[in-house]
A and B are shown apart, each in its own frame.
Chain A
Amino acid sequence: MNNCEDQESWEIVHIPDKPPFPPHQQPTVNVYAAVIDPKHANTLIRKLNQILPLENLRHVKRVRKQHLDEGSTQLSVILCLAGENNSQVDFIPQEVVGLIDSYQLDTFITKVCRYAPLSKEEWVEQCKIWPTSFHPPTYNISGITGFSQEESQLVCTFMKLALDLAKSKCQMVNAAVIVDPSTNEVIARACDQVYSCSCPINHEVTKNHDNMLLNSSATEEPKLSYDGVSCLNPWGWSNQKSCDSWHPLRHAAIVAIEDSAARDRNLFPGGRHDLTEIDHVEPALTSPSPKKQKTISMDVNDLEELNTRTNGCHPELSRPYLCTGYDIYLVWEPCAMCAMALVHQRIKRIFYAYPNPTAGALGSVHRLQGEKSLNHHYAVFKVLLPQESLNRGIMSLVSKGDHPKKPSNMPHGASL
Chain B
Amino acid sequence: MASCGDREYLDVVAFMKLALEQAKIAFDGLEVPVGCVIVMDGKVISCGRNRTNETRNATRHAEMEAIDVLLDQWKKLKLSKAEVSEMFSKCSLYVTCEPCIMCAGALSFLGIKEVYYGCANDKFGGCGSILSLHTMSCEEAGGKSYKCTGGIMAEEAVSLFRNFYELGNPNAPKPHRQPVQQP
Query: Can you spell out 26 A-B residue pairs with CB atoms less than 8 angstroms apart?
Result: A233-B142, A235-B109, A235-B111, A238-B84, A238-B85, A246-B81, A247-B71, A249-B64, A249-B106, A254-B59, A257-B58, A261-B57, A336-B102, A336-B104, A336-B105, A336-B133, A340-B101, A340-B124, A341-B58, A341-B59, A341-B102, A346-B176, A358-B141, A366-B131, A373-B130, A375-B176
Q: Which residues of B contact A (CB under 8 A)?
A: 30, 52-53, 55-59, 64, 67, 71, 81-82, 84-85, 100-106, 108-111, 122-124, 126, 130-131, 133, 137-138, 141-144, 170-173, 176, 178, 182
Q: Given the known A-B contacts A235-B143, A336-B126, are A345 and B58 also in contact in the complex, defined by CB atoms under 8 Å?
A: yes
A293 CA to B137 CA, complexed, in Å: 50
Which residues in window 224-257 of A have CB below 8 A to B? 233-240, 242, 246-249, 254, 257
Further pairs besides A233-B141, A275-B171, A375-B124: 17, Cβ < 8 Å: A235-B142, A237-B85, A237-B109, A238-B85, A240-B81, A248-B71, A254-B59, A335-B105, A337-B103, A337-B105, A337-B109, A340-B105, A341-B102, A344-B58, A359-B138, A361-B101, A376-B176
The yes or no answer to A162 lying at the interface (CB within 8 A) is: no
Most buried by B among A265, A336, A358, A371: A336
Q: Are A340 and B102 in contact (CB under 8 A)?
A: yes
Q: Which residues of A contact B (CB under 8 A)?
A: 233-240, 242, 246-249, 254, 257-258, 261, 264-265, 272, 275-276, 279, 282, 321-322, 335-341, 343-346, 358-359, 361, 366, 368, 371, 373-376
Q: Are B170 and A249 in contact (CB under 8 A)?
A: no
Q: Given the known A-B contacts A235-B111, A238-B81, are A371 and B105 also in contact in the complex, defined by CB atoms under 8 Å?
A: no
Chain A residues within an 8 Å CB radius of B103: 337
- Top 4 nearest A-B pairs by Cβ distance? A337-B105, A261-B57, A340-B102, A238-B85
B55, B85, B143: the one within 8 Å of A261 (CB): B55
A361 CA to B131 CA, complexed, in Å: 11
A238 CA to B111 CA, complexed, in Å: 10
Q: Given the known A-B contacts A340-B101, A373-B123, are A322 and B58 also in contact in the complex, defined by CB atoms under 8 Å?
A: yes
Q: Are B138 and A239 in contact (CB under 8 A)?
A: no
Chain B residues within an 8 Å CB radius of A238: 81-82, 84-85, 111
A352 CA to B37 CA, complexed, in Å: 36
